[in-house]
Amino acid sequence: MAKIAMLGSGFIGRFYADSLIGQRSRDTIVSIYSRREESAKKFAVDYKCTHWTTDMEEAINHPEVDMVCISLPNNLHEAAVLACCKAKKAVMCTKPLGRNAEEAKRMMEAVEKAGIFNGYLEDLCYTPKFLKALKSVQEGALGRILWAKSRETHPGPHSEWFWDIEQAGGGCILDLGCHCVEISRNFIGKDIKPIEVMCWADTQVKPIDAEDHAIGLVKYENGAIGQFEVSWTFRGGLDLRDEVMGSEGTIWLNSFLRTGFDMFTTGKGGDYVAEKAESNTGWLFPVGDELNELGYNHMFADMFNAVESGRAPRETFYDGYVVNAVLDAAYRSAKSKLWEPVKLDVWRGQEGVQKQKTLTDYDEQYYLIKEEMTHFGTAKLILKDKKTGQIIEKIV
């Protein structure tokens, strides 16, 4: 049974708390740290915490605490992680791990030097749909993975610090792109090195210094391509969609806006419908179990089970570091308008992976380009001569 210190009592801290104490029904939050006394007190009442404080190290060092959950603004992650290292307490940190790869690397190296458990709270890599899709990909149902695309767009985050580039470290690329990059990494293979990024970003709507809309391509060493679409300007709620395409198949995932649950209301009843829903009137698209559908339950179950079994979780600080390195390249590309290399001082995957073979033999003379059945019942092949390069049609 885990006894947890929660650092942060805001929106994500409460999402985490609901899942922490609900999924396994044996883990408890024994201490809550918040920068505001009133928030700490309210959280303690709502989640029956026996201890609250406005001193972060006091929460971490609480004698009953054996694991710390960081749900603080991005600029406070490193200080919290270092305090956990000093106290030798297991730590889980919300995404993104750092405001940049250098911060993330320092945190990764600190937890590894301290020898403490570290988990990267990347919830969208734990959604039931994603886990099922990933299993199919890993079992070869889609063949060679060629392209993985992830989209997260909504009207913008909940707390004021997200909109401050100094505290947050960036805009929607950092806030949402961290999800999208890690989703694609899982599908393509986390041991395949991301090598360069091309990214467009702009501030189209919001009166902020950071970007509110971005699209990027991440090129991997084996020739696969990852794509992310992120925005704080999307109107219509929270849009979470993933696509993965392989040589033998395709998967489409829609995790939030189209879930088979549609509702119309005049708005005279309740206020809350779903995360980042823009209205409580008209046609709405609720989610049956947000904690489950957004991956929180499976994520924390993996974290706690990993601690108890002495293994690493599916997502660690190392993964957070790689994601930060990819996003750093995206920010450089958005400024330079060029492909920018991903700078990874630490890489633990495969080295020198060759680009995936794209040629399929038909026989000794020809490569197969395509085979199809026509509308008039004839089987047809498109072939390329290996020696001359001539492309022909062959009726079977």
The model's pLDDT over 3-15, given as tens digits with 9 standing for 90+, comes to 999 999 988 999 9
CATH for 3-123 is 3.40.50.720
Residue type, 214: A
Q: What is the mean pLDDT of the segment spanning 367-390?
A: 89
Q: Tell me: the pLDDT tens digits for 94-110?
A: 999 999 999 999 999 99
Q: Tell me: the pLDDT tens digits for 18-68?
A: 998 776 667 899 999 999 999 999 999 999 999 999 999 999 999 999 999
Helix (H, G, I), strand (E, B) or coil at 138: helix
pLDDT tier, 375 (very low <50, low <70, confident <90, very high otherwise)? confident
Q: When comparing pLDDT for 360 and 184, which is higher?
A: 184
Q: What is the pLDDT of residue 38?
A: 94
pLDDT higher than threshold 60 for residue 276:
no
Separation between Cα atoms, residue 187 and residue 229, nearest integer Å: 16
Closest to 319 measured CA to CA, from 335, 299, 333, 336: 299
Q: In this structure, what DSSP letter does residue 237 have? A: S
Q: What is the mean pLDDT of the segment spanning 331-343?
A: 98
Domain spans of the chain? 3-123, 125-294+312-341, 366-395
Separation between Cα atoms, residue 325 and residue 342, nearest integer Å: 6
Q: Tell me: the pLDDT tens digits for 164-183?
A: 999 999 999 999 999 999 99
Separation between Cα atoms, residue 110 and residue 84, nearest integer Å: 10
Q: What is the pLDDT of residue 246?
A: 95
Q: List % helix, strand, coil for the chain (3-state, nearest 5).
A: 35, 25, 40
pLDDT tier, 125 (very low <50, low <70, confident <90, very high otherwise)? very high
Residue type, 283: W
Residue 360 CB neighbours (<10 A)? 12
pLDDT higher than threshold 70 for residue 274:
no
| CATH superfamily, with its number, for domain 125-294+312-341 | Dihydrodipicolinate Reductase; domain 2 (3.30.360.10)
Closest to 321 measured CA to CA, from 128, 145, 124, 106: 106
